[in-house]
Amino acid sequence: MVDERKHVGEIVKNLMPLHDLEYKVVFNLHENTFFQRLVSKDVLEKVRAKPEEYFKALIFLDYFSRVIDNDCSVCDNLENLSKALRDQERARNEDKGEKGPSYLTLETVVFETGLFAKEKLVKSGRKDIAKKEESEIKKRYLQEKPVDLSSPDSRKLDPFYEAIGEMVSSQVSDKLQPYLNSVKSRADIGAIVFADSVLSVLQDKVSIQEVQNKLAMNDCYSASISALKALMKESSIPKIQSSIEKNGS
């Protein structure tokens, strides 16, 4: 049986970096490697999330911004939301830093993203994602070239990247981790983390089952699209408010 940690580590080692940013301070070696391989600059520089959910939130948003939406505006929204919450904290003279609500939870990030996608759809006067748009998403998904681990030129796993594989795997819930064994590209990893993040907030059992069925067929792309559609239905301002309140209490 393939160890998903090793498999993901080898895939990640073979991905072309998205950028070469090195955060000399604050972040560790493995954290910087994770950023370079899996999170684009625009997402990285704008999002503030709880430390324990930070890396998952980044992959979730990177997948949404680069593959689904082809735009980073949702990160601007999240940045503004964080700033507004921080200003409120400061006005109350109780800046709690990362323990306070200005460091968003994954739930807030997911619902805000869902609402953003929903509003975009409403503005365009459509009820569902248009076929043309879906084919554009698919095109961007497929632009992320799959890694061919059987190629003699592929880079072989080493302990450091095994640890990176562990880091990526641990962003995915236990139930979905086995699906990581089939990932071949950055987009596959993004799609699983995206679907997993959405599943963690969805209420509708039919939608949950649909996403899980697609993952079970190793169709990460379709699972992420089903997750997006279900998320758009369930996202609302009260849900965002509720997640912020839970975070602040």
Partner 1 sequence: MAKVVRGGNMFFEDDIRIIDSELDIPLNLPAPPIFSRDELQIVYNGHVYVASRGSQSTGRIKAYTMTFGLKETDSPKVQEDKYLSDNSTSINKQKQDFIERVVNGIADIDPSLPKTRAGSQISQELADRISKVYEKINKPQKQNPMGKGLITKLDDGSVFNSEMQGCERVLILDRKIYDLLTIPEYVSIFQNSFEPKFYKELEKQCQNLSPKEISRIISENTDKIHRKVVPKVRNKIWHSDRSSELYLDGTCWIPQYRSSGGGLVQIYQLLLEKKLKIEAARSIKW
By CB under 8 A, tell whether 84 contacts partner 1: no
Nearer residue to partner 1 within complex by CB, 157 or 225: 157
**Per-position x/- string for 23-62, each x denoting binding to partner 1 as judged by CB under 8 A, each - no binding:** -xxxxxxx-xx-----------------x-----------
Site residues (CB under 8 A) for partner 1, limited to 126-155: 155
State the nearest-atom distance from the C-beta of 158 to partner 1, in Å: 4
State the nearest-atom distance from the C-beta of 13 to partner 1, in Å: 9
CA atoms within 13 A of residue 39's CA, in its CB half-sphere: 25
Report DSSP state, residue 210. Answer: H
Q: CB within 8 A of 116, min separation 6: which ones?
A: 73, 74, 77
Can you tell me which of 2, 22, 84, 213 binds partner 1, judged by CB under 8 A? 22
Size of the site for partner 1 (CB under 8 A): 23
Can you tell me which of 83, 160, 213, 236 binds partner 1, judged by CB under 8 A? 160
Q: Is residue 107 within 8 Å of 153, Cβ to Cβ?
A: no
Neighbours of 124 (CB within 10 A): 11
For residues 230 and 226, give the distance between their C-alpha atoms in angstroms, rounded to a whole number: 6
Q: What is the residue whose two structure tokens read 């084919």?
A: 135
Can you tell me which of 70, 124, 143, 170 binds partner 1, judged by CB under 8 A? 170
Nearer residue to partner 1 within complex by CB, 33 or 235: 33
Q: CA distances (Å), 162 to each of 38, 111, 117, 149, 174, in order?
A: 15, 32, 35, 15, 18
Residues of this chain that interact with partner 1 (CB under 8 A) are 20, 22, 24-30, 32-33, 51, 155-156, 158-160, 162-164, 166-167, 170
